[in-house]
Amino acid sequence: MSVSAMNRCRRLDLREILDRRRVAHEQFRPHLYLDSPGMSNSQEPRDLSVDLNHDAGGPLQLAATYFPPAGHRGDKPILVCLPGGTCNRSYFDLIVPGLGDYSFARHAAALGFPVVAFDHLGTGASSRPDREVSLEDQADALASALDVLPSIIEQPGPQIAVAHSMGGYVAIFQQARHRSYEALVILGTTNQVIAHQGISEAYAREASTKDGRAKLTQELVEAIPDLYLDGFRDSSSSWCFLDDVPHAVIEVDARTTVTVVPRMCAASSFVPGVTLAAAAEIDVPVFLGYGELDVSPSPENEPGFFPQSPEVELMVLGGSAHCHNAASTRLLLWERLETWCDSHRAGASS
């Protein structure tokens, strides 16, 4: 990454977070069809299905939810929300009665953004092929779906990925392989060793090469007996949520967002550097976001993995763990990335 691009990297320190919190308180070509008719005349979210029909083993579908923009505006980019491992698309639409706004998708739609949240191939309500599903497979399926999305939801785009955790790996692969997006928002995804993973030096050396990463991934795959790994929360909740997150929020997350993960995707995500080569090819603006407790051991080093990007912005969100949409400070992140996305629509000045 160039010096000028590095100069645009930005980290929010605690003082700025507190200042902004105070201000905030003051103020393949697939077929796509709608599960519910009349979506274009409604502001209510509508479920979508994307029929891929390109798999030799039979037809496949991606499940999604479309959140129409307030006022049916067509001047903002489509935000394509991609959840992380063990999460379905409801991660972007947490509904917690009596506890305020935990739905990023509805928050962004209210500001005029068309928002579409997907379940990755092999997760949530999307098809689960009776074969291995890789991160690259998930990326290819999404690219096929996005080819027709603007015409179906009657929004011109362009499209910006808003990807969390494992979804960030999918978005990076997708952009490198298909150039689907005008810009990338990558949240809680690291190109380094996962902070809480605790690997040996020998493992790190093995993961430093392409062949080594492939070997480690295969070893992990072989250690998982089933094609799909059941989702879980208990062992990860200590780094997913800080202590101030209400129990009701954690309960809704566990009850509504947990899904299976294809074992190859899970294995790949635990091998450091899985998207190193793909990240090096990204030549669109990138927004990187992390909580104060998150997967990256050193967020300040993450922008360097995108050397071709003309702009990388870094935000470290105080008062947040890995699941940023559940954090007490979530609005600071949402407002910043919504402003950033709006400034990176086609034709907008950065």
Give the least confident one: 4-13, 116-125, 128-137: 4-13
Q: Summarize pLDDT for 39-96 with one digit per residue, the tens.
A: 344 589 999 998 885 554 568 999 999 999 998 667 899 999 999 999 999 999 999 9
106 phi, psi to nearest 5 deg: -70, -35
Give the pairing type, strands 115-118 and 78-82.
parallel
Across the chain, what does the average pLDDT equal? 86
For residue 120, tell me if it sits in a domain: yes
For residue 264, tell me if it sits in a domain: yes
For residue 349, tell me if it sits in a domain: no
The rounded distance, in Å, linking the Cα atoms of 289 and 211 is: 29
On whether the CB atoms of residues 244 and 291 are closer than 8 A, the answer is: no
- Total domain count, the chain: 1
Domain region containing 195: 3-343
For residue 235, tell me if it sits in a domain: yes
Over the range 301-339, which residues count as b (16 or more CB within 10 Å of their CB) and which as e? ebbebbbebebbbbbbbbbbbbbbbbbbbbbbbbebbbe
Residue 8 CB partners (closer than 8 Å, separation 6+): 311, 312, 313
Query: pTM of the prediction?
Result: 0.87
CATH of the domain at 52: 3.40.50.1820
For residue 350, tell me if it sits in a domain: no
For residue 348, tell me if it sits in a domain: no
336 phi, psi to nearest 5 deg: -70, -45
State mean pLDDT over 313-329. Answer: 97
For residue 57, tell me if it sits in a domain: yes
For residue 87, tell me if it sits in a domain: yes
105 phi, psi to nearest 5 deg: -60, -45
CA dihedral 153, 155, 157, 161 (to 10 degrees): -40
